[in-house]
Each structure stands twice: as C-alpha cells, then as structure tokens.
Amino acid sequence: MLFYRLLITLLWLPVSMALLARVIAGREGFSDWLERVGLRNLSSGEPRLWLHAASNGELASARPVIFALRDADPALKLLVTTNSLSGRDMARDWDIPGVIAQLAPLDMRWSAARIIRRCRVRGLIIIESEFWPNRIAALSKRGLPVFVLGARLSRRSAQTWRRLAPLARELQARITYLSPQDEGSRRRFLSLGARTEQMGPVLNLKAFYAPPKDMLPDESLRNVFQPEDTWLAASTHPGEDKIVLDAHKRLQSDWPGLHLIIAPRHPARGGEIGSLARRMGFNVALRSEGDRPRRNAVYIADTLREMPLWYQCAGICFVGGSLAEKGGHTPFEPAVFSSAILHGPDVRNFTAIYRKLDVAGAAIQVEDAPSLRNAVLQLRDTDRREAMQRIAHDVLDQPAHLDTIIRELVRSLKPR
C-alpha cells in the first residue's frame, strides 16, 4: 500500500497537467478539471452516502440501486461520482431528489478525505469494479463502510491483482460487503483473500434495468423504423461496423425493405462509420447532424443516452463488443425491449448469461458477416423472432433479492 501511495503521489502532477490539456483543447471546462484533481467538491449540509460508478453503463446499472436506497430510507441523501462527463451529466439529468453528482477525483487520500469531510459521507457504494485503494482506505480509516455491488473480476484482472497480492489482500480486508456479479468473480475474489463472511449473493445489477418511461420514438422514427423490419447494431466497436454493413448488403436482395440502425459505443465514431457506409455504396443519415431517417439509408445513431430509442425501433439486435474482443455488452437491455438477440463469440463480460440464452434458444451466436446475415434472415420469420424474445424474458427474469440487500446495507450505515 505504501508503494501505491508513493506512485500515485508522483503521478498526480503529470496526470493533472494532462487533464488540464483537455481544458485548453476545449474538451472539458476548468470546473471539470478542478473536480477531477480533487480541488473542487460539492459541499453538503446533510450527511450523504457516496455512490461511485465509472461511466454511463455502470451508472445505468446503479439507477435501480439509487431508487431502492430511497425506498428503504426516503430521507437518505446521496453523492454520485463518475469518471466521465457524460456519466455525471446523466446523473444530473435524472434530477432525483436528494442526489448530487460530480466527477470523481484522482485517487489521492487527501482528495477522498476532502469529499468525506465536505459531504459528511456515511459510507461508499462501488458499482462493479472501481477498486481505488486510497479512496477505500480513506473510508476504512474513519470506520465508514465500503460496499461493492455487482462486483466483477475477470480472469485477466485477477491475474494482475495476483501480481499485487499484498495490496489485493489489504484492499479486500477494508471492504465491508461484496456482492459478486457472477460465480466466476466470486471464486476469484475468494482466491485473492476475500472472506466468505464478506460475500453477499451473486447480483448482476444490469438485470434490474428499467427503461425510461419518457423516452419514446417520435413520428419521424416511427414512420421509418418498424420493429418487424428493422435491425440494430448496438454499441459497436471498430471493426464490427464493416461486418454489420457487409451483412446488411448481403441482406438487401433477400429482405427488401429491411432497415439498419448502427449505434456505436462511442458516438464520436459516427462520421467515420458514415464514411465507411458511403464507400460501401449505402446512403447514410447521421443522427448527430440532424438528418431525418430515410427508408433507403443506413441510420447512424451517433448520440449519447438515446439507446432506449433504438431498441424500441428494432425487433432484432446485434450486441456489439462481441466480434471485436471487448467482452460483449449487456443482453438485458435489448431483452427488456423485446429485441431478438444476436452476438459474437467474445461475451466474457456476461459469459454465464449468454450461455443460458444460447442454450435456451433465446440468442444466436455469429462469427462473421455471412453468419450474421444468415441469423438476421432466420428472424424474418415472426414466430421464430417472437419465440426468442419470450424465452429471453424468461431466462433473464430479474432476481428478487436487491431490496433485501439494500435494506441490510442501509441498516449498516453510520448514524446521521
């Protein structure tokens, strides 16, 4: 732990300067920089529970947790921190009473102590896999509980932590309660020194995803995209877009009138994907440019926080990150919107879930453009598509113990 503290102290200045360069380049504001380096924190007159989620995906997973916390204790106040501007802005846009949001500071003990003092922190909830040693140590030193919900530890990450075994043991000794995302993560945490009495039940927070009720396709989208003849490539990464476009080109003669929406994981890639599609002979409409959807154009949905729109428009969804060795993205969201699920072979982020879906016939694995084309074409059959959608709902039925975990968590908080 001493070596880590020394290393992070030495890195604070160069990392702070690199973040300042983002301000100079106009990518972030000066107040954002102050939050990131720990020199600006929201003050609070009331004690707060600190909840940290890395970015948009983790924060979306945390939303049911926030509402469950408020149900368990309506007077509870929260501080939400994220690593990304878009995550922080998402939390603010939710406008949940009693919740304030800011960017998380770099992992210095003094910056964590500053947040603890100014927000009168009662405890910390970590979502999934944000294990910052100084932050956790700062809370533990003050006798404040640290909870990890939906904790994920991949084989690769576990190998890294094994090389830092003393730090891993000390870190886990400071965690009050850890609920793993899957059985594999549970075994790996135990092998790194977690105690059985620390461990809660397996909890995949993404299973509790609830779609926003106020986000519905407008008339321009409904006029073009009908679920029965629209497919979506969701959260794609570099390399996957070409495969998707190649498959769509092959489908044009087999399924006239089929529409394609591509929603890249990183919206900044929208222009790049549009250029690729044009080179392949497609007409293109870009959401970020205000282009209206057209029946003869590939629609590039290159905007943030609008994914629920695209799931509602498409009856078939290829889940990205699975043909690009990124571990695959969540199947829960397309399933909630009754979109039949296709995925590539790399689904290590949700191995057990995709295995259940595949075995039950609720998802189809593809390897390349020809197999993706074949899978989409199979789902032209309405009965087959609807059967997959129904089975996915059954397989991904939400576990019932989140409320129980949250009640236990609230009871263990320090008094106000």
SS3 sequence, the chain?
A: CHHHHHHHHHHHHHHHHHHHHHHHCCCCCHHHHHHHCCCCCCCCCCCEEEEECCCHHHHHHHHHHHHHHHHHCCCCCEEEEECCHHHHHHHHHHCCCCEEEEECCCCCHHHHHHHHHHCCEEEEEEECCCCCHHHHHHHHHCCCCEEEEEECCCHHHHHHHHCCHHHHHHHHHCCCEEEECCHHHHHHHHHCCCCHHHECCCCCHHHHCCCCCCCCCCHHHHHHCCHHHEEEEEEECCCHHHHHHHHHHHHCCCCCCCEEEEEECCHHHHHHHHHHHHHCCCEEEEHHHCCCCCCCEEEECCCCCCHHHHHHHCCEEEECCCCCCCCCCCCHHHHHCCCEEEECCCCHHHHHHHHHHHHHCCEEECCCHHHHHHHHHHCCCHHHHHHHHHHHHHHCCCCCCHHHHHHHHHHCCCCC
pLDDT in tens, the chain (416 residues): 778 888 899 999 999 999 999 999 999 999 999 999 999 877 777 899 999 999 888 998 999 999 999 999 999 999 999 999 999 999 999 999 999 999 999 999 999 999 999 999 999 999 998 899 999 999 999 999 999 999 999 888 899 999 988 999 999 999 999 999 988 999 999 999 999 999 999 888 988 888 888 899 999 999 999 999 999 999 999 999 999 999 999 999 999 999 999 999 999 999 999 999 999 999 999 999 999 999 999 999 999 989 999 999 999 999 999 999 999 999 999 999 999 999 999 999 898 899 999 999 999 999 999 999 999 999 999 999 999 999 999 898 765 578 888 988 998 886 66
Q: What is d(CA 164, CA 144) in angstroms, rounded to the nearest whole number?
A: 25
pLDDT at 413: 86
pLDDT at 57: 85
What are the E-state strand segments in 132-265? 146-151, 177-180, 230-236, 259-264
Among 57, 77, 53, 84, residue whose Cα is nearest residue 149:
53
* Active-site amino acid positions: 58
Distance of CA 183 to the CA centre of its chain: 20
Which domains does the chain carry?
40-204+400-411 (3.40.50.11720), 219-395 (3.40.50.2000)
Do 265 and 236 meet the contact criterion of CB atoms below 8 Å apart?
Answer: yes
Distance of CA 46 to the CA centre of its chain: 29
Whole-prediction pTM = 0.84
Residue 388 identity: M
